[in-house]
Structures are given as C-alpha cells and as structure tokens.
C-alpha cells in the first residue's frame, strides 16, 4: 500500500512497511515524469532570468525528447534515461533537420 504526501511543489511516494512506519522511496512524478520535472526546471530558468523564448525552445525540446523516447520504446523515467538514449534522439533530429535547426531542438 502506498501513501502520497505532498511537500511544496513535489509529490513523494512513501511505502507502508508495517502498520506504523513509512519507508522513503524517493520522488514520485507519476506517468509524466519528465513533464513534472519540466515545470520545476522552467521555474528555475525564469528565476535565472533566462529569456522566455529560450525557455520555450528548451521546453519544446523536452517534449520532443519525451515523445521520441516513448516512440522508440526507450525509458522515459528521468532516472532511467542514459546518454545513449539522448544520443539516439540527437541523431534522429540531425537526420531530419539541418544542423542549425537541429541545434535549437
């Protein structure tokens, strides 16, 4: 049985180990894990006074990465995404776009 506990902007999953104590299992972002992290990252970028256009471009790239990973049957959980998954995404972008355009994606 799981209990969900909200703390500020993140949700955490706790596992009930016995009738009285709970075991910490780490952050829980639900089915759209990258989307949950994206909003936190966007907030961080805004706090760093990054241009709204740049934040939009970065956000689009995260969405593209998420869709690519799902289409390819690759992991979408942030802790499971590895360098080779990101490199496959970049290779796919370069195959479909000119390098200057791919750089922005």
SS3 labels along the chain? CEEEEEECCEEEEEEECCCCCEEEEEECCHHHHHHHHHHHHHHHHHHCCCCHHHHHHHHHHHHHHHHHHHHCCCCCCCCCCCHHHHHHHHHHHHHHCCHHHHHHC
When pLDDT is cut at 50, 70 and 90, the band that residue 72 belongs to is very high
pTM of the model: 0.65
Task: Determine whether 98 is exposed, middle or buried from the number of CB atoms within 10 Å of its CB (0-12, 13-18, 19+).
Answer: exposed
How many whole angstroms separate alpha carbon 93 and alpha carbon 68? 10
- pLDDT of res. 102: 75
More confident residue, 17 or 79: 79
Q: Which of 17-26, 40-49, 68-77 has the lowest mean pLDDT?
A: 17-26
* Per-residue model confidence as pLDDT tens digits over 1-23: 333 343 333 444 444 444 555 44
Mean pLDDT of the chain: 76
When pLDDT is cut at 50, 70 and 90, the band that residue 105 belongs to is low
């Amino acid at each position: 049985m799981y209990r969900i506990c909200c703390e500020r902007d993140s949700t955490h999953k706790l596992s009930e180990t016995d009738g009285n104590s709970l075991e910490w299992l780490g952050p829980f972002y639900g089915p759209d894990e990258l989307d949950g992290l994206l909003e936190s990252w966007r907030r961080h970028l805004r706090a760093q006074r990054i241009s709204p256009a740049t934040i939009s471009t970065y956000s689009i790239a995260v969405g593209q990465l998420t869709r690519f990973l799902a289409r390819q049957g690759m992991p979408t959980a942030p802790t499971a995404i590895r360098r080779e998954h990101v490199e496959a995404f970049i290779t796919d972008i370069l195959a479909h776009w000119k390098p200057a355009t791919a750089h922005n994606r």
